[in-house]
């Protein structure tokens, strides 16, 4: 298009034009920041939001907010940025041969030659070390939860090679923060954060199935499995099931967490969280079009706003 600036050298295909990495970051840092998906922040939000759900629900449960919770919220934000980056780096290391065969991913730093595998491993180690320093400021139970989270992160990149449900493994990794943040506040694990974790997995199945529909043709050619390929034309029916599962599980988590400690108004406001998010997911379902790649990416990115909806109601419930 006349007058449109050319994409910066090395820009990844599905990055937003004008993102801060390609526009403002020092040139030598750009390949590594692209490797961490810093030019595509939606993944950090999707990792962070369940952490904030867990923290907010823990505060509602024991009705005991404290200044330390502000650090937990901030620490989760920093940790989500770092560990999402480390996870994406690990994913790109393990998928480097697949990524070079897929149109959307062949411009990523490793297959495009911007970063070597050794360089990527070193970058991953630095991110993990920085994330560990943040984790060590939490209580011992939360530290243990954080270390355990490395298991699903390590397994996820290989899941699409042996199961049609790799989105489940992504959900296991991306929603772990719901339990970790609860434990960071309370010191113990319980059924409410576990149910919240399962609700988050249902949400991940929803948005990542939409996302995976972008690559179904390439995935079929190279033998990569996904729920998008598994469901095919039945995807809308499965997305509806994931919405029902999410709303039901989050509502049950809220009831178990809040019913004995908060007022009736607080319980009603907290229960409005899954209800409102469920309606937003339903709107996404109505807009779903498996053949419209641009729409699929837009819907996927929209899930940042979708996931923030429950936080509004949780915060309101704190003051009820």
pLDDT band at 6 (very low <50, low <70, confident <90, very high): low
Q: Residue 39 carries which DSSP code? A: T
Asked whether the predicted pLDDT for residue 212 surpasses 50, the reply is yes
pLDDT band at 5 (very low <50, low <70, confident <90, very high): low
Nearest to 192 by CA among 53, 308, 49: 53
* Main-chain phi, psi angles of 242, to 5 degrees: -65, -35
Asked whether the predicted pLDDT for residue 46 surpasses 70, the reply is yes
The region, left, alpha or beta by phi > 0 then psi within -120 to 50, assigned to residue 114 is alpha
List, for residues 292-319, the tens digit of each pLDDT value: 999 999 999 999 999 999 999 999 999 9
Q: Tell me, yes or no, if the pTM score tops 0.95.
A: no
Residue 1 has a pLDDT of 41
Asked whether the predicted pLDDT for residue 13 surpasses 90, the reply is no
Please state the rounded mean pLDDT for residues 224-247.
96
% of the chain at pLDDT higher than 90:
75
| CB contact at 8 A, 242 and 248 | no
E strand or H helix at 143, and its extent?
A: helix 140-148
Nearest to 24 by CA among 41, 43, 39, 3: 39
| CB contact at 8 A, 120 and 92 | yes
% of the chain at pLDDT higher than 70:
97
pLDDT band at 3 (very low <50, low <70, confident <90, very high): very low
Number of H-type helices and E-type strands within the chain: 16, 0
Q: Which residues of 244-263 are buried (b: 16+ CB within 10 A; e: fewer)?
A: ebbbbbbbbbbebbbeeebe
Share in percent of the chain as helix, strand, coil (round to 5): 75, 0, 25
List, for residues 78-131, the tens digit of each pLDDT value: 999 999 999 999 988 998 877 777 777 788 888 888 999 999 999 999 999 999
Instruction: Provide the mean pLDDT of the chain.
Output: 92
Nearest to 163 by CA among 117, 223, 88: 223
Residue 8 has a pLDDT of 63
List, for residues 258-295, the tens digit of each pLDDT value: 998 888 999 999 999 999 999 999 999 999 999 999 99
Nearest to 122 by CA among 91, 89, 155, 81: 89
Structure tokens at 116: 């070597």
List, for residues 49-85, the tens digit of each pLDDT value: 999 999 999 999 999 899 999 999 999 999 999 999 9
Among 160-164, 166-170, 230-234, which is the least confidently predicted range? 160-164
């Amino acid at each position: 298009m006349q007058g449109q600036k050319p994409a910066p050298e090395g820009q990844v295909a599905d990055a937003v034009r004008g993102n801060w990495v390609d526009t403002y970051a020092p040139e030598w840092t750009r390949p590594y920041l692209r490797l961490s998906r810093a030019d595509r922040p939606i993944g950090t939000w999707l990792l962070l939001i369940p952490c904030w759900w867990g923290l907010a629900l823990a505060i509602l449960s024991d009705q005991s907010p404290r200044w330390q919770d502000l650090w937990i919220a901030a620490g989760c934000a920093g940790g989500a940025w770092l560990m999402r980056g480390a996870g994406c780096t690990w994913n790109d290391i393990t998928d480097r041969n697949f990524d070079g065969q897929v149109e959307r991913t062949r411009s990523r730093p490793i297959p495009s030659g911007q970063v070597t595998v050794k360089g990527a491993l070193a970058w991953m180690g630095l991110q993990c070390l920085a994330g560990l320093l943040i984790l060590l400021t939490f209580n011992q139970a939360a530290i243990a939860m954080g270390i355990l989270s490395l298991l699903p992160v390590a397994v996820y990149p290989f899941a699409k090679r042996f199961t049609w449900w790799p989105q489940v493994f992504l959900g296991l990794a991306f929603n772990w923060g719901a339990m970790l943040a609860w434990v960071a506040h309370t010191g113990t694990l319980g059924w409410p954060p576990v149910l919240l974790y399962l609700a988050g997995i249902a949400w991940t199945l929803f948005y990542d199935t939409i996302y995976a529909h972008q690559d179904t043709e390439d995935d079929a050619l190279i033998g990569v499995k996904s729920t998008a390929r598994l469901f095919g034309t039945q995807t809308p029916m499965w997305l509806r099931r994931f919405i029902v599962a999410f709303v039901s599980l989050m509502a049950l988590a809220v009831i178990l967490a809040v019913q004995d400690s908060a007022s009736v108004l607080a319980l009603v406001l907290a229960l409005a969280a899954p209800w409102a998010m469920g309606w937003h997911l339903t709107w996404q379902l109505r807009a779903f079009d498996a053949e419209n790649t641009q729409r699929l990416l837009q819907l996927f990115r929209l899930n940042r706003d979708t996931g923030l909806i429950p936080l509004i109601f949780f915060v309101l419930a704190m003051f009820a």
